[in-house]
């Protein structure tokens, strides 16, 4: 539960820094509507592009397993945000209540161990589509179903709780770095020397698996200015 709680706390902090204190009401500090459900299904569509699903193009290509993991973590950002917003608007409790309830779900046991494997692409894509259906439904959000489908997806995607946590911390810091360097204004450079910043972040984590969040931020800043120096 501790890792779930910390990730929820970090996500809330990032949302406050990015969107303002009242983000759980569904609007940013600039008056822009927030739609976490749309974020989830759009990011899920990108996840499916990790596989050569098109019958007319690159039919013999290999799945991009590394990108799949990153996309899973991206979706996790939005699911946690939706959960915090849902609990706040339905007056169900705070972040600690979400963490406790999440850890009690049967599906949580799928990732709360050292098991990590890649399932068949077809099975993974079907699970991604389950998540999309959860957030495209016109009825009231079934958060338990969404979390269950997500943890099933995590267990199919070569991840467990530890690796999900590690990648989430990395992506959380990268998102903070992006915001601090003009992401919202459109001045941030996302591709560094031909590779997306996600890839550079992953390289740092691979080389320094025990790196602290503040140290990761410093490494990203150093690389960003070295690679993108005019």
Residue of 62, 55, 75, 60 lying closest to 128 (CA atoms): 75
Specify the 3-state DSSP secondary structure of 137: coil
Q: Decide: 178 and 188 in contact? Cβ < 8 Å.
A: yes
DSSP code of residue 109: G
Contacting residues for 2 by C-beta, under 8 A, at least 6 apart? none
C-alpha–C-alpha distance, residues 68 and 220, integer Å: 22
Q: Decide: 102 and 4 in contact? Cβ < 8 Å.
A: yes
Q: What are phi and psi of 109, to 5 degrees?
A: -65, -20
C-alpha–C-alpha distance, residues 86 and 100, integer Å: 15
Q: Tell me the per-residue pLDDT of 91-130, one tens digit each, with 9 for 90 and over.
A: 999 999 999 999 999 999 889 876 678 899 999 999 999 9
C-alpha–C-alpha distance, residues 47 and 52, integer Å: 11
For helices 161-180 and 197-207, what crossing angle results, to 10°?
Answer: 130
Write out 41-83 in H/E/C secondary structure: HHHHHHHHCCCCCCCCCCCCCCCCHHHHHHHHHHHHHHHHHHH
2-170: which CATH number, 1.10.1740.10, 3.40.50.150, 3.10.20.880, 1.10.4010.10?
A: 1.10.4010.10
Q: Decide: 64 and 70 in contact? Cβ < 8 Å.
A: no
> Which regions of the chain are under pLDDT 50?
none
| Environment class of 36 (CB within 10 Å of its CB; exposed 0-12, middle 13-18, buried 19+) | buried
Q: Tell me the per-residue pLDDT of 166-194, one tens digit each, with 9 for 90 and over.
A: 889 888 888 889 988 988 888 999 999 88
Q: Decide: 12 and 21 in contact? Cβ < 8 Å.
A: no
pTM for this prediction: 0.85
Domain ranges for the chain: 2-170
Query: Which two three-digit tokens encode residue 76?
Result: 């996790």
C-alpha–C-alpha distance, residues 204 and 153, integer Å: 25
pLDDT at residue number 230: 52
Please state the length of the chain: 230
Torsion of CA 214, 219, 222, 226, to 10 degrees: -160
C-alpha–C-alpha distance, residues 157 and 79, integer Å: 17
The CB density around residue 162, as the number of other CB atoms within 10 Å, is: 14
């Amino acid at each position: 539960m501790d890792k779930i709680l910390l990730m929820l706390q970090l996500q809330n902090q990032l949302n406050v820094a990015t969107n303002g204190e009242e983000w759980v009401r569904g609007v940013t500090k600039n008056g822009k509507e927030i739609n976490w459900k749309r974020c989830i299904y759009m990011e899920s569509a990108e996840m499916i592009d990790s596989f050569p699903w098109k019958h007319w193009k690159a039919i013999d290509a290999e799945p991009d397993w590394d990108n799949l993991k990153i996309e899973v973590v991206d979706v996790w950002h939005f699911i946690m945000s939706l959960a915090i917003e849902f609990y706040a608007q339905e007056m169900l409790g705070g972040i600690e209540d979400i963490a406790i309830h999440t850890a009690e779900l049967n599906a949580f046991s799928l990732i709360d161990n050292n098991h990590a494997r890649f399932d068949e692409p077809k099975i993974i894509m079907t699970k991604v589509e389950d998540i999309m259906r959860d957030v495209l439904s016109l009825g009231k959000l079934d958060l338990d179903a969404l979390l269950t489908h997500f943890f099933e997806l995590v267990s199919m995607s070569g991840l467990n709780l530890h690796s999900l946590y590690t990648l989430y911390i990395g992506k959380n810091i990268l998102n903070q770095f992006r915001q601090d360097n003009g992401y919202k204004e459109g001045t941030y450079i996302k591709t560094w020397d031909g590779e997306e910043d996600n890839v550079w972040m992953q390289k740092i984590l691979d080389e320094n698996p025990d790196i602290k969040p503040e140290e990761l931020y410093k490494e990203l800043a150093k690389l960003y200015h070295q690679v993108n120096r005019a």
